[in-house]
Chain A
Amino acid sequence: MTPTPWTDDTPHPLVPEETTPPPVADAAEPEGLPPAEAGLAPLPSQAEVKSEDEARQRRRLWAVLLALLLALCGVGFLFSRYVRRPEPLPEMLPVPVEVNYPPHFLFAFYDVNGPLGIALSPSEDRLYVTEGEGDRLVKIFDTEGNLLRAFAPPRTTAAERAPVYVAVDARGRVYVTDRLQHAIFVYDAEGNYLDTILGPDLTLSEYIAKHTGFKPRPGTFAYDWFEEEVHYQDPQGRRRTLPRPDRPTWAPLGVAFDAQGRLLVTDVALGAHRVLVFSPQVAAQDDWSDFQPEVWSFGEFGEAEDQLQFPNMVVVDALGRFVVSDGNNGRLSVWDAQGVWQMLVGTGGGGGGLNLPRGLALDARQRLHVVDAVGQVVRVYDFSEAQPEFLFAFGTAGTLSGQFHYPNDIAIASDGRLYITDRANDRVQVWSY
């Protein structure tokens, strides 16, 4: 077959032949159409159609410009917010985070001396931080690090108190352990002193009530371990004293509440390192002038698998297990809901090997954050399954942003923010997922 040669007169085989458009009827005077009086609207003229098209195009343009302007404003807002305080995208936009990646350093605040313990208020708008140095106060900050106020046990000087860990119950009452006072001091959300838990079965208000027959009002009594007398006001407002109570045989160190409202305390009294589990009655009571909670304990001092050496903190995971930071044994000790020892986590080397575990905090996904004081990092383990697994660690040793110098405790907010006491750097670091 011989191909047909292409010439200028013949259409190109690959180019579609130009077609002649059909003649356009005059829109103003359509032929063969009934007049307007017949009930049909007259067709718009060409100019009107063009005008409508232009108007539509203008509207479309304005809409696009408006959308661009709004987007620009949004980007500008985010940019300005980022410039003011750099934050990762998940924090700026409430994007649910489901992947396991380490958090980012946000900022730090410094109005603290040797911070040790930290806890969030139930509404998560306040932080309670204990100081191990300086005036040894408990300080209240907002979540941006602004100091709101500070407080301390009544009648004590800085040399007579050593606040360590802090917990907040569902009502917002603040519980602070004190190593020199051998007690747990309880305050209201503003830091006003309420009472002292002197031992597993005795409070200061109960002691006074038993000896005087009346229930003392908060703020009208006090006891300093280094004094020989308890001070209180009688119902007439007169200042009175009582001989001090017998010295307690416990040394409360860590303190926390679990989801059931049980008060959890680690006790490091000589030769009796253990965990005390108080019934939810403690947190449910309006006051503690009749303090008879059910208390049980587990653990004993030693290096064996089911023993503890300076247990610093305890949390209860979603499976009901007690997880204890077994400080001087350098590991996590896991116990079942009945207090029967189950397993060790964080032993040995590698990223998951713990040096000196202290503060603990679980997030909503059952990721346990362990502050490794001497390792200078926070190590994170997945406790959502029966067999916990190491996930990752974050932080390095040093004094720069995001670096730790003997960190001690951690609190986690539901928005994914982490608050970590950085003891020897005299600051609280704020991180975020």
Chain B
Amino acid sequence: MRKWLWLLPVFLSGALLLNLAGTAWANGGPHGGYTPTTDACAGCHRAHTAQGPNLLTATSTYELCMSCHGAAGTGADTNVADGKFVAARSPSTEGEANTADNGDLLGGGFVNYKTAAVTSIHNSDGTLMAAWGFGVARGQTANLPSSLTCASCHDPHGSPNYRILREQIAGNAVTVDQVDEGPANKDYDDEHWPDNVSNVCVACHGAYHVTRPNSAEDNSDNGSGNADYGGDISTYAHRVGMNYAYGGNADPEATGYGGYFLPLTASKNVACQTCHLPHGTSASMSTLATAPFTNDSALLRLDNRGVCEVCHQK
């Protein structure tokens, strides 16, 4: 028996290679997984007759993405305009895609969300955006190095990150562990977040990245300082990265509060996305919740300060 043990690592290595071979480099579709003789490039690029930068056939990145991912869903099941997954699931594929018909996408929507008009969005149509927590206080003017587009955060050619997120955003490295959803686990309306999913937000909103309480060194503001917070940011900003139970809070994902729920990471930790929708929200804000920024729902998942109550239940 023992003389055959040497075969074990060979077998395991082979199994590992086979497993890697089946792992897509992206979430599917035209975004990655290219063969050496792929025809996919021609979908968006022209080598000598391009109309926009990066040899694109058009000038507007937002409209390019929306030509498939818009409300019409003419080229994708992920309708990011409405924040809906619009592929009807047939019985034969029920085990391969667990997203419900018209399920709400994890990122929210740019036009509607949960069948209501959005009240705040990450405007990704090329507008120069303010990035609060990027060395400036909230409400100040923009200081992103470039205008914001879909491609600011997502890599259309695929990436090893969850949801083809870029490995570098706004000049900052982004480390987000890949969650191998695979065809059996692919799911657009249930979170399969790695614990470091907040890093995507931190690339621009670094000063809000507080991971431990009562420490002036717990933020990663990309060296831009915390002058706007007077030093110890943890005194002024909510933590992320801790387990939901810190401080004796209820489980916002499983238990919820009053029928409302919030998502957590794989280890049941709180991430920026627990409270905020990266694309856009239709949450409504009343008098107190809007102060001092009128009509600003700040990408929050729930109306007013529902996101506070789901965990803290005051």
On A, residues with C-beta under 8 Å from B are 114, 116, 132-133, 136, 157-160, 162, 164, 179-180, 182, 225-226, 247-251, 253, 268-272, 310, 312, 327-330, 347-349, 353-356, 358, 373-376, 396-397, 405-406, 408, 423-424
Question: What's the Cα separation between A207 and B298 when bound, in Å?
Answer: 44
CB pair B86–A179 under 8 Å, yes or no, is: yes
- Residues of A close to B57: CB separation below 8 A: 355, 374-376, 397
- 8 pairs, CB–CB < 8 Å, chain A vs chain B: A158-B112, A180-B71, A226-B115, A253-B73, A270-B97, A355-B43, A373-B74, A406-B66
CB distance from A347 to the nearest CB of B (A): 7
- CB pair A251–B88 under 8 Å, yes or no, is yes
A374 touches B71 (CB 8 A): no
* Closest chain B CB from A92 CB (angstroms): 33
Check: B24 CB closer than 8 A to any chain A CB: no
Residues of B within 8 Å of A270, CB to CB, are 77, 87-90, 93, 96-97
With a CB–CB cut-off of 8 A, which chain B residues contact A253?
73-74
- Could you tell me if A251 and B86 are in contact, using CB atoms closer than 8 angstroms? yes
Residues from chain A with Cβ under 8 Å of B39 in the complex = 329-330, 347-348
The answer to whether A271 touches B90, judged by C-beta atoms less than 8 angstroms apart, is yes
B184 to chain A, nearest CB (A): 13
Do B74 and A249 touch (CB < 8 A)? no
Interface contact B58-A406, CB-CB below 8 Å: yes
Please report the C-alpha to C-alpha distance between residue A312 and residue B75 in the assembled complex, in whole angstroms.
Answer: 8
Among B33-59, those with CB < 8 Å from A are 39-40, 42-44, 46-47, 51-52, 57-59
Q: Are A249 and B89 CB-contacts (below 8 A) given A159-B115, A328-B30?
A: yes
For A396, what are the chain B residues with a Cβ–Cβ distance below 8 Å?
51
Most chain A Cβ neighbours within 10 Å, of B58, B96, B111? B58
Whole-angstrom distance between the alpha carbons of A358 and B74 in the complex? 8
B114 CB → nearest A CB, Å: 8
Residue B123, interface by CB 8 Å: no
Which one, B66, B82, B117, contacts A180 given CB within 8 A? Answer: B82
Contact B82 A162 (CB under 8 A): yes
Which residues of the other chain, B, contact A356 by a CB distance below 8 angstroms?
43, 67-68, 75
Query: Is B63 interfacial (CB 8 A cutoff)?
Result: yes
Cβ of B209 under 8 Å from chain A: no
Q: Find B43's partner among A164, A268, A328, A405 (CB 8 Å cutoff).
A: A328
| Residue among A327, A348, A397 with max Cβ neighbours from chain B (10 Å) | A397
Distance from A248 Cβ to chain B, minimum over Cβ atoms (Å): 6
Contact A376 B58 (CB under 8 A): yes
Cβ distance A311 to chain B, nearest Cβ, rounded Å: 10
A272 and B90 form a contact (CB under 8 A): yes
Q: In the complex, which of the residues B63, B66, B88, B116 has the most CB atoms of chain A within 10 Å of its own CB atom?
A: B88
Q: Residues on B close to A: CB < 8 A? A: 29-30, 39-40, 42-44, 46-47, 51-52, 57-60, 63-64, 66-68, 70-77, 79, 81-82, 84, 86-93, 96-97, 101-102, 111-112, 115-117
A327: which of B75, B87, B111 is its contact (CB, 8 Å)? B75
Main secondary structure of the interface of A (DSSP, over half): loop
CA of A327 to CA of B68 in the docked complex: distance in angstroms? 10
Specify the chain B residue showing the minimal Cβ separation from A377: B57
- How many angstroms from the CA of A406 to the CA of B59 in the assembled complex? 10
Which residues of B are found within 8 Å of A424, using beta-carbon distances? 60, 63, 66
Bound-complex Cα distance A132 to B40 (A): 26
Interfacial chain B residues near A375, Cβ < 8 Å: 46, 57
- Give which listed residue, B42, B92, B96, contacts A330 with CB less than 8 A: B42
Contact B67 A373 (CB under 8 A): yes
Closest CB of chain B to A403's CB: distance in Å? Answer: 10
Cβ contact within 8 Å between A405 and B58 = yes
For the complex of A and B, 4 pairs with smallest distance between CB atoms: A270-B87, A159-B112, A397-B51, A271-B93
A116 to B112, CA, bound (A): 18
A247 touches B115 (CB 8 A): no
Q: List 5 additional A-B contacts (Cβ < 8 Å) besides A249-B89, A330-B43, A376-B51.
A: A116-B74, A162-B86, A251-B73, A253-B74, A405-B60
A329 nearest CB neighbor, chain B only: B39
- Please give, as numbers and ranges, the residues of chain B lying within 8 Å of A247 by CB-CB distance: 88, 101
Tell me the nearest residue of chain B to A397, going by C-beta: B51
> In the complex the two chains form, is A182's CB within 8 Å of B82's CB?
no
Task: Name the B residues within 8 Å of A269 (CB-CB).
Answer: 87-90
CB A371 to nearest CB in B, in angstroms, measures 11
B82–A164 CB distance below 8 A: no
B88 touches A159 (CB 8 A): no
Contacts of B112 in A (CB 8 A): 158-159
- Whole-angstrom CA separation of A424 from B60 in the bound complex: 10
**Chain A residues near B93 (CB-CB < 8 A):** 270-272
CA–CA, A162 and B81, complex, Å:
10
Q: Is the CB of A374 within 8 A of B89?
A: no
Complex CA gap A349/B71 in Å reads 29
Q: Which of B79, B96, B115 contacts A179 (CB 8 A)?
A: B79
